[in-house]
Amino acid sequence: MEELTARQREVLEVILAGVEQEGRFPAMREIAGRLRLSSPATVFQHLEALAAKGFLRRGGGRWSLSPRSRRDRGVPIAGRVAAGHPLTAFEEIDGYLTPEFIGARRGRFSVRVRGESMRDEGILDGDYVVVDPEAEAGDGDLVVAYLGPDQEATVKRLRRRRGGLELHPANPEYGVLRVPRGDPHFRVAGRVVGLLRRM
């Protein structure tokens, strides 16, 4: 399909930023302001061009994004970074950091890790772990479990033992938690399938 001009891409960029950050389609005079244009008519022409090329849709005096202008590619993952500037060629890209790559699926959720009990497995205080509640949690799996009457969430490694379960930390300063079979306050939320950290 047809390509966009540099200016048209700028206009689309402003629109996408508005939708992604504010959750609304910017008004023409708003777009004009951002691009230092003084007439909404100029923006109107750009929108018409973008619609003609399939990036926007028009319906009853209102504009909306078409599926093709939605960007879900995320950030490129550098495969082999050779000399010079990285990421100038497609061959050097292994993929993209997308929500799917992070582990976004229906039914999953995430919990913020508290404490240093899993430090030796590289899970630190403040990290976010992605939990799959539908994944079968077997012996040796990393899980999020709810403990005690307060249903406090904790991340530990699960061990199946005679008479019940054990939750193993990865830090010698913490002890193993033993859960007797049939403990009404114990519940495994799911298996940990990913981890995110902001720095």
Partner DNA sequence: AAAGATACCGAACATTTGTTCGGTAGGCAA
Partner DNA sequence: TTGCCTACCGAACAAATGTTCGGTATCTTT
DSSP letter at 172 equals T
Give the C-alpha separation, 42 to 6, whole Å: 15
Q: How far is the CB of 36 from DNA (least distance, A)?
A: 7
Nearer to DNA, 26 or 190 (CB): 26
Give the C-alpha separation, 163 to 126, whole Å: 33
Q: Kindly name the residue from 53, 69, 110, 117 that is annotated as catalytic.
A: 117
Q: Which residue has the tokens 């994004």?
A: 65
Q: Kindly name the residue from 53, 69, 110, 156 that is annotated as catalytic.
A: 156
Is residue 144 within 8 A of residue 135, CB to CB? The reply is no
Q: Name every residue whose Cβ is closer than 8 Å to that of residue 128 and which is 6 or more positions away in sequence.
A: 110, 111, 112, 113, 195, 196, 197
DSSP letter at 29 equals H
- Residue 134's binding partner out of DNA, its own copies, none, with CB under 5 to 8 Å set by partner kind: none
Give the C-alpha separation, 130 to 128, whole Å: 7
If binding is defined by CB under 8 A, does position 97 make contact with its own copies? yes
Q: Binding residue for its own copies (CB under 8 A) from 7, 9, 58, 73?
A: 73
If binding is defined by CB under 8 A, does position 151 make contact with its own copies? yes
Q: How far is the CB of 16 from DNA (least distance, A)?
A: 15
> Helix or strand or coil: residue 143?
strand
Q: Indicate if 156 belongs to the active site.
A: yes
- Nearest-CA neighbor of 186 among 177, 195, 194? 177
Kindly state the helix (H) or strand (E) to which residue 199 belongs, with its residue range.
none
Q: Kindly write out the interface string for residues 77-96 of this chain, putting x where it contacts its own copies by CB under 8 A and - elsewhere.
A: xx--xxx--xx------x--
Q: Indicate if 117 belongs to the active site.
A: yes
Chain contacts with its own copies (rule: CB under 8 A) = 19-20, 22-25, 27, 57, 62-65, 69-70, 72-78, 81-83, 86-87, 94, 97-99, 101-105, 108-112, 119, 122-124, 127-128, 130, 133, 142, 146, 151, 153, 189, 192-199
Which positions are catalytic? 117, 156
